[in-house]
Chain A
Amino acid sequence: MGMQSIGRPTSPFPSSVSGAETVSGSKGLLQHEDLIFEIGSPDKTGVDLPKPKGGKNRLGGVARQQSTGLPGLSEPEAVRHYMRLSQRNYAIDLGLFPLGSCTMKHNPRLNEKAARMPGFSDIHPLQPQRTVQGALELIDELATWLKTLTGMPAVAMSPKAGAHGELCGMLAIRQALIARGEAETRKRVLVPASAHGTNPATAIQCGFIVDEIKADARGRVDMVDLRSKLETTDDVAGIMLTNPNTCGLFETDIKTIADLIHDAGGYFYCDGANFNAIVGRVRPGDLGVDAMHINLHKTFSTPHGGGGPGSGPTVLSDALAPYAPVPFVVKDDDGFRLIEETEGDAAQAFGRMVAFHGQMGMFVRALTYMLSHGADGLKQVAEDAVLNANYIQARLKTVMTPAFEGYCMHEALFSDAFTADGIETIDIAKAMLDEGYHPMTMYFPLVVHGAMLIEPTETESKQELDRFCETMTVIAERAAQGDEALKGAPYLAPKKRLDETQAARKPVLKWTAPVPEAVAAE
């Protein structure tokens, strides 16, 4: 018997009072929490620093005039602030996070432990290379895994995220065209209508022109359209194609596409966002790919962290390898060495994309994950991811509308055709919040009306999938019946539906001190 009850066990008391309104603004375990600017004070601090000695100054007068005015918090207040805010977030560690094309799989904690070993976390990128041989060896080992898994001869490790890897691949293509003397004439990049928005944005950033290819009725590249786009070839720089594609389907004609692009004198950039579906089962190098970024934060389990940091190493074919950016690691008799300048071994490199050597903290996590799974485990990863997606598709196909016929890869895509008039995809998504799920990706890809893209990943159990499918079945039936209550969802999330229109119309992007009423009245 606990001290709190001292022999008085509690029992439920029937009551008609809902208790929803509270004085504190908190709701049971969900504590109310204001902004640090409202709870902190400039005089508080959570860090004890030695007192400056005074006297020395070599700033030459280049000194800040206005103080920042930023508040501080003591450690208990700060910890409580972030704990309270954390409870307003959904996360993989809380439940299924079926965000299509994002591969929200479990993030093993061994990865975190390894990344925090001082031998990795407490080393400087410009230390003498003799003092960081273990770090360079790790980068080389990870590079070997990536090259072997993709069947590609080279990999650029420095890109900071998936979109940055796209930039890397497209800049390598640009450099290859410069070397051929065709950079000014070959400007056209073919991009499917279903592509991630980063693909056309990247092509434009590299100075290319985007030419959109249609999808066919099977959700793949429309080969008739593609061939028509290749009637003239001397202006073609390449194609940017996601495989498996954003409809969750393997591009059946991928080798033909690669051949057509190569015959046209262009290069094949593959968006590797969906590599999780095929890792260990298919090597992109066997499909004619010239460049592909790998999102370590998707396929290889590094945490998404609420929007980064990511990491996007980019594998390159023999045709593009000479143009890989600096830095890269080589091994010789003296050990491992960084090539940091675009000369000598790297005379043809297209340049440097970032300061230093890439996302080392993510490299450690990804390698830890790869070693844990091994070649056998990674193959099982892909198979379970695909099995889980097909299971969801099979269980929901009678209540929702699959966008395409046949099996899917790692994600199941539905259109909104099953919903009653007035009920939209977003209403289904918001109803899922009340049921304790993060919604699927919605309204993407653009080629499917009201798209709902569900990617469960391999780290969900059958029990979780069953519970999810049972929930989705009920929500889908409500949507089909035109249940108006869906329009008001979510009812139980920490916030009701938020006004994004107002946020964009008159952007408030930082906190400003409220004007005291007496001053405002003057």
Chain B
Amino acid sequence: MRYLPLTPEDRAAMLNTIGAASIDDFYEDVPQSARLSGTIEGLPDHQGELAVERHLSRLASKNTTASDVPFFVGAGAYKHHVPASVDMIIQRSEFLTTYTPYQPEIAQGTLQTLFEFQTQVAAMTAMDVANASMYDGSTACAEAAVMACRVTRRKKVVLSGGLHPHYAAATRLLCEAQGIEVIELEPAIDGELDLANHVDDVTACVIGQSPNVFGTVTDLSPVADAAHEKKALLVSVFTEAVSLGLVTPPGEMGADIAVGEGQSIGNPLTFGGPYVGLFACTQKLVRQMPGRLCGETVDADGSRGFVLTLSTREQHIRRDKATSNICTNSGLCALAFTAHMTLLGGKGLEQLAVLNHETACDLADALETVSGVEILTPRFFNEFAFRTPVDAEAVLAMLEERGVLGGVRASRLISDPGFGDVIIAAATECTTQDDIAAYVAALKEVI
């Protein structure tokens, strides 16, 4: 067995040193009725690399990849180019095969990259501070809601009708378990500002999204003002991190907490995970933040170093009084994010964002030439919703038969029957003019 270094002779010698007759001695505390004899039935025995690789290749080959076809699927995860050096960096053993940096003297590599990550995320969101990452955008959103309740000592949160429905579901679940009331506004393509009308004296926070699940970008400043007037918080959500290079970021709209999905920078699609949740807030809320935080300090020689800090918020110290049960963050995905951002730089991010936006404009312009298509999203970044004259599911299926993955039907995310003919389509720097032409040609055939 290639991953097991002990030889039969080693095992015998070790048992002898221990003074045990056999390995079974170590399992003597297992109740008799639960002891298995032999190996577990119904599973194959070990296999060599070649056989295993063949098995995995066979499964992989049954999937259509985003690079195989003209591809316009978004709605919370996006097909972007990841520089070759990013994947090489995260496969470096010292990053890949290490643990949470509990021993900072021998973990400065991880810690310094987390400090850089936090600085980048704070700058991109225009917030004061960011943590060392969360599982993903949806869980970051849920944690933001319960954090807002801790901060305000209130138990009601209001979700916009443009919040990604999966984010809304994750948030509702965590809130309801804690006795927090959740108000969800009706699904709306351009309804983020409605949040301002739903803040009262017991509201902990309102949660708005820009760009929202329909792609609509909104300046949430009026919502922030309405929330702050009632001493509530604004949680500002994004699922497309590249938008931060071009679209008004949470900090410029008066957000108290900014959360979002960082997958678009440095991380491949991978069928939905692992991704990296971004979490930032104002300075005065920092001690109520969930998750790991990396801070600067000095060592015994007075030289600069980094450590995990403010751990008195966390479960391993505070146990039942912790701000969250979160333990791991999304370290390696955060490394991919920070490495890609380091390669891009601020100007590179802006340029990438402009490219995405222009490509999406090209796509919208092209789709509008198809009779019956109506673009529904009034202002967008790299994604928008459009109406088709027939059922969206049927349209997408016919496009798929023509080798085009044309987007996400809104009905996959929203049960409201009013959205049955709505498709959400995204374009990125990976989208070519040929892809757009293929989309338009196929769409003309099917509607």
State A118–B200 Cα separation when bound (angstroms). Answer: 49
Contact (Cβ within 8 A) B217 A498: no
Stretch at the interface among B65-73, B226-234, B435-443: B65-73
Contact (Cβ within 8 A) A71 B346: yes
Q: Does B103 contact A (CB under 8 A)?
A: yes
State A282–B32 Cα separation when bound (angstroms). Answer: 10
Contact (Cβ within 8 A) A72 B348: yes
Q: Does A267 contact B (CB under 8 A)?
A: no
Stretch at the interface among A3-11, A73-81, A228-236, A471-479: A73-81
SS class of chain A's interface: helix, strand, loop or mixed?
loop
- Number of chain A interface residues as a range: 35 or more
Chain A residues with Cβ below 8 Å from B42 are 148
Chain B residues with Cβ below 8 Å from A202 are 325
Chain B residues with Cβ below 8 Å from A87 are 94, 109
Q: Does A503 contact B (CB under 8 A)?
A: yes
Contact (Cβ within 8 A) B17 A391: yes
Q: Does B339 contact A (CB under 8 A)?
A: yes
Number of residues of chain B lying within 8 A (CB) of chain A: 211
Contact (Cβ within 8 A) B100 A354: no
Q: How far is the CB of B400 from chain A (nearest CB, A)?
A: 5
Given known A123-B66, A128-B396, A360-B270, contact A433–B3 (CB-CB < 8 A): no
Contact (Cβ within 8 A) A66 B97: no
Q: How far is the CB of B178 from chain A (nearest CB, A)?
A: 5
Among residues 91 to 140 in chain A, which have CB atoms less than 8 Å away from a CB atom of chain B? 91-94, 97, 99, 102, 104, 106-108, 110, 112-128, 130-135, 137-138
Contact (Cβ within 8 A) A462 B6: yes
Partner of B46, one of A252, A282, A309, A373: A373
Contact (Cβ within 8 A) A374 B43: yes
Given known A62-B219, A118-B67, A164-B139, contact A374–B47 (CB-CB < 8 A): yes
Q: How far is the CB of B366 from chain A (nearest CB, A)?
A: 12
Chain A residues with Cβ below 8 Å from B58 are 134
Among A67, A85, A252, max chain B CB count under 10 A is at A85
Q: Does B53 contact A (CB under 8 A)?
A: yes
Among residues 105 to 132 in chain B, which have CB atoms less than 8 Å away from a CB atom of chain A? 105-110, 112-113, 115-116, 118-120, 122-124, 126, 129-130, 132
Q: Does B388 contact A (CB under 8 A)?
A: no
Contact (Cβ within 8 A) A391 B14: yes
Contact (Cβ within 8 A) A287 B34: yes
Q: Does A395 contact B (CB under 8 A)?
A: yes
Q: Does A421 contact B (CB under 8 A)?
A: no
Partner of B325, one of A47, A163, A325: A163
Contact (Cβ within 8 A) B296 A83: no
Q: How far is the CB of A427 from chain B (nearest CB, A)?
A: 13
Contact (Cβ within 8 A) A167 B64: no
Among residues 217 to 251 in chain B, which have CB atoms less than 8 Å away from a CB atom of chain A? 217-219, 244-249
State A325–B170 Cα separation when bound (angstroms). Answer: 11
Partner of A89, one of B98, B137, B293, B329: B98
Q: Does A355 contact B (CB under 8 A)?
A: yes
Chain A residues with Cβ below 8 Å from B315 are 163, 196-198, 200-201
Given known A85-B109, A249-B29, contact A201–B63 (CB-CB < 8 A): no
Contact (Cβ within 8 A) A305 B27: no
Name the residue of chain A whose CB is nearest to the CB of B396: A128
The 26 sampled A-B contact pairs (Cβ below 8 Å) are: A43-B347, A45-B343, A45-B345, A58-B380, A59-B381, A64-B248, A108-B3, A114-B60, A117-B57, A123-B269, A127-B66, A137-B62, A197-B316, A198-B315, A301-B3, A304-B331, A305-B90, A306-B101, A308-B100, A309-B330, A351-B173, A354-B166, A371-B56, A377-B46, A462-B14, A495-B104
